[in-house]
């Protein structure tokens, strides 16, 4: 998996738990946190506070999922599909 794939997945789904991303990309959560930190530094993703809900059903069996949310840049019309991260 490359950073662009993670970026596109977050842009498409808007809010995603770390566990969901680990399952989707068959990746280690620690490795994902490193990639997410890169996207956070660029202002494209933010880690949501503990107790936030993903916005789908709010009935997740996870006690406190670690959630990340895509941040649209000014002028973004649609989620990115290609290009540099």
Taking only the tens place, the pLDDT of each residue in 20-78 is 999 999 999 999 999 999 999 999 999 998 866 666 555 555 566 899 999 987 666 55
CB atoms within 10 A of CB 79: 15
* CATH number, domain containing residue 55: 1.10.10.10
> Structural domain tally of the chain?
1
pLDDT for 73: 76
pLDDT for 72: 87
The DSSP result for 27-68, as a single string, is: --HHHHHHHHHHHHHTTSEEEPPTT---SS-S--S-SS--EE
Please give the Cα distance from 35 to 51 (Å, whole number): 22
Residue 11 lies in a domain: yes
Residue 57 lies in a domain: yes
pTM exceeds 0.85, yes or no = no
Residue 79 lies in a domain: no
pLDDT for 55: 60
Residue 78 lies in a domain: no
Residue 63 lies in a domain: yes
Residue 81 lies in a domain: no
């Amino acid at each position: 998996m490359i950073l662009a794939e993670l970026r596109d997945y977050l842009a498409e789904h808007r809010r995603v738990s770390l566990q969901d991303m680990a399952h989707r990309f068959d990746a280690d959560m620690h490795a994902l946190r490193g990639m997410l930190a890169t996207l956070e530094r660029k202002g494209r993703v933010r880690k949501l506070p503990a107790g936030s809900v993903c916005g789908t059903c709010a009935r997740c069996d996870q006690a406190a999922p670690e959630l990340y949310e895509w941040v649209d840049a000014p002028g973004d019309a649609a989620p990115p599909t290609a290009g540099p991260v």
